[in-house]
Homo-oligomer: A and B are copies of this chain.
Amino acid sequence: VNVEYINPFIDAVLNVLRTMAQTDAKAGKPYLKKDKASQGDVTGLIGMAREGSKGSIAVSFSAPCILKVVSNMLMEDFTQLTDEVTDAVGEITNMVSGGARKTLSEKGFKFEMAIPTIIVGERHTITHMTTGPVIVLPFETPHGPFFIEICIVDINR
């Protein structure tokens, strides 16, 4: 996997959480996803494509973590995964992918981004349909961990 694809997502999510939700996240060591076991309660997904490569990005939170993040973001106390929380995760996904897209574009990788989709459901699993590597970026926050999965593959046409 092209490591140049990774850092723009790390920078974007740290920046978004800090500026939008006053949450200092700490990036852990990226690793290759080996099985399908990682589970989240709320996941923002976004597809991306450009001539010659395509991918999918997942930003996945546990309920306790995202409730705190969104409570900070909207300055209101959320204790349930309401529609407002779902929409806020959509905004976060949009801002993270938009920020990463900008950086990637400056490096010469001009991706088109699809419409983000938000999945809400207790402990769901995410599987990227690819034979290529899926990189997991783990993060720690004071409210608990979350992770980003990045799957971008070059394709032959």
Contacts and interface: CB of A to CB of B under 8 A. Distances in A.
Interface of A: 36, 39, 43, 45-51, 54-56, 58, 83, 86-87, 90-91, 93-94, 112-130, 151, 153
A54 B90 CA distance: 16
B36 A83 contact: yes
A118 B129 contact: yes
B129 A116 contact: yes
Contacts of A117: 45, 47, 56, 58, 126-129
As for how many copies of this chain the complex holds, the number is 2
A43 B79 CA distance: 26
Contacts of A123: 121
A128 B151 CA distance: 20
Contacts of A119: 43, 119, 121, 124-127
B112 A49 contact: yes
Nearest to A40: B121
Nearest 6 Cβ contacts at the A-B interface: A47-B47, A47-B114, A121-B124, A49-B112, A90-B129, A121-B121
B50 A114 contact: no
A56 B115 contact: yes
A83 B34 CA distance: 13
